[in-house]
Chains A and B, each alone.
Chain A
Amino acid sequence: MAAEYTIAAVAAPVAVVGLELAVLRTGLLRTVRYWVTVAISLAFMVPVDGWLTRPDATVVHYAEEQISGLRAPWHIPVEDYGFGLALITLTLLLWQRQRGRTPAEGEARDG
């Protein structure tokens, strides 16, 4: 049996993109702003995830047989980037979908 986390980590972003194309249709994925957000978020994910997976003080352990074994940088399983990408993208899609749906909570004011 193939590594299940590897499969899930690929399937999740694909499913989120499918949700956008078939249902949500926010157009978010065609904006530069989305891709810059993803780039920044994944860049910051590296130190955070690196800390969570550091071998000498591991917060989250992974079953070696459920991952591809590719870890970069340091000890981060590459699958985590698929997980993170899906998490961030779904969040931004639903946030954009709520735009204009929820009453503007003081949005017209400047803080």
Chain B
Amino acid sequence: MDPLRYLLILAACVAVTLPLELVLGARVYRQPRRLLLALAPVVAVFALWDLIAVARGHWWFSERYTTGVILAGLPWEEWLFFLVVPLCALLTFEVLGRGPQLLRRAREARSTHRRATDGEPAQPQLPATGSSRGR
């Protein structure tokens, strides 16, 4: 398991944040083009920093706790790190942007439930739209 350690840490980050997209309605994975355009410069800049830092001996990676697959001078786990960490931040940011909407929906769900138990017809759910894009 040792060589998978770095990879498993990253996998845990993905797993923990996945419900933000699947349950809480963040739309990050579902905007692949926007995601690609936002992340490409980030990966480029930070991989360059990483390569310079490694070349100058600022830090180095354990051979025991990485798979040993090197991609353009860096362990491939390190490349994944520059995708996974930004993804986690974006998912957090998007869910926070949906906060007011999520609260309203929770309230609606409660009142719909009350009406339903009172035998009144439930109101149709408001379509939750892209207004989450507001800050």
Contacts and interface: CB of A to CB of B under 8 A. Distances in A.
Interface residues of A, number: 48
Interface in B25-40: 25, 27, 30-35, 37-39
Contacts, number: 131
Interface size class of B (residues with CB under 8 A): 35 or more
A22 to B, nearest CB: 16
Contact of A87 (B5, B31, B42, B135): B42
B96 interface: yes
Contacts of B39: 91, 94
A103 B97 contact: no
A75 to B, nearest CB: 13
Interface string A71-111: 00000000000001001101110110111011111111111
Interface of A: 4-5, 8, 12, 27, 31, 33-34, 36-37, 40-41, 44-45, 48, 51-52, 57-63, 66-67, 84, 87-88, 90-92, 94-95, 97-99, 101-111
Given A4-B56, A105-B30, A111-B25, 13 more contacts: A37-B96, A41-B88, A44-B13, A51-B9, A60-B59, A61-B61, A66-B59, A67-B58, A99-B133, A101-B34, A102-B33, A110-B127, A111-B30
